[in-house]
Amino acid sequence: MSAVSANPATERRVELVELYRRLSEGHACPLASSRTRLVFGSGNADAELMFVGEAPGSEEDRQGKPFVGRAGKLLDALLEEIGMRREDAFVANVLKCRPPGNRDPLPEEIEECSPWLFRQIELIEPLVVCTLGNFATKLLTGSRVGITKVHGTPQTHELAGRSVQLYPIFHPAAALRTESVRELLRADFARLPALLEEARASERGERPVDPAAAPELGPGLPKPEPPLDEGGGAYTRAAPGGVEADPAPRAAERSQLDLFG
């Protein structure tokens, strides 16, 4: 959990559930009709570390959870090697729906989905955002420089209104295909604990982040307008403050978000 948080943890959880429901009900993604399940993201709502992948694959589409296939198993193994578990992090993707046949995300899909990702980052307030592969890296750095050049090099960015250490690393799926990439990914992973420690120190004010080194995130993505809740269900938005009247996650949500046990 961030030492200096704009948002108490309980409220953050409630707002994440609310965001999940808004996305489930009002997602205008072109892929919504071909997917099986929405993959919102899952993990620790108070995480200091957030992973951002590309898009759900077939297993993720089936289960509604991110990184539960082979690439996810590698992610878990790499986390274990540095003494961390999935529950210590929040894991999300740029796209919330699976592209057919796992093709690359299209620009219009990224445009539709990315405000939801930015809102997740805003709510979770991670200290370190680890981008997995090219799509997440290019979106969050706002740069066209690819993962082969930038992997393993932390960058300070202003993301969703906060200074964040952005740490691009190879996508685990690429690492599954190529042994040399696997070794690079493992080496980059090994730097994560120190990077987190540095980010905590900076958050405590021991080593202030140099604002000059924190470029604004490029294309100024809009925050999603809250879709109107038409009422009728248990879920109704409260007036200002954004905390809904029925914040308790339903059983299906609990299993999909793995968040709010």
- Contact flag: residue 175 with ligand URA (CB under 6 A): no
Beta-strand pair 128-132/162-169 = parallel
Q: In whole angstroms, how close is the CB of 65 to ligand URA at the nearest point?
A: 8
Which of 43, 66, 126, 249 contacts ligand URA by CB under 6 A? 66
Contacting range for ligand URA; rule: CB under 6 A; set: 7-15, 53-61, 187-195, 210-218? 53-61
- Contact flag: residue 41 with ligand URA (CB under 6 A): no
Closest residue to ligand URA: CB criterion: 53
Q: Which long-range contacts (CB under 8 A, 24 or more apart) does 145-152 make?
A: 147/171, 151/184, 151/185, 151/188, 152/184, 152/187, 152/188, 152/191
Q: Which two three-digit tokens encode residue 34?
A: 């071909």
Distance from C-alpha of 110 to C-alpha of 131, rounded to nearest angstrom: 15
Which of 13, 18, 48, 53 contacts ligand URA by CB under 6 A? 53
Q: In whole angstroms, how close is the CB of 54 to ligand URA at the nearest point?
A: 4
Q: Which two three-digit tokens encode residue 226?
A: 């809250």
| Binding letters toward ligand URA, positions 77-96, x by CB under 6 A | ----------------x---
Distance from C-alpha of 12 to C-alpha of 46, rounded to nearest angstrom: 8
Residues that bind ligand URA (CB under 6 A): 53-57, 60, 66-67, 69, 71, 93, 173
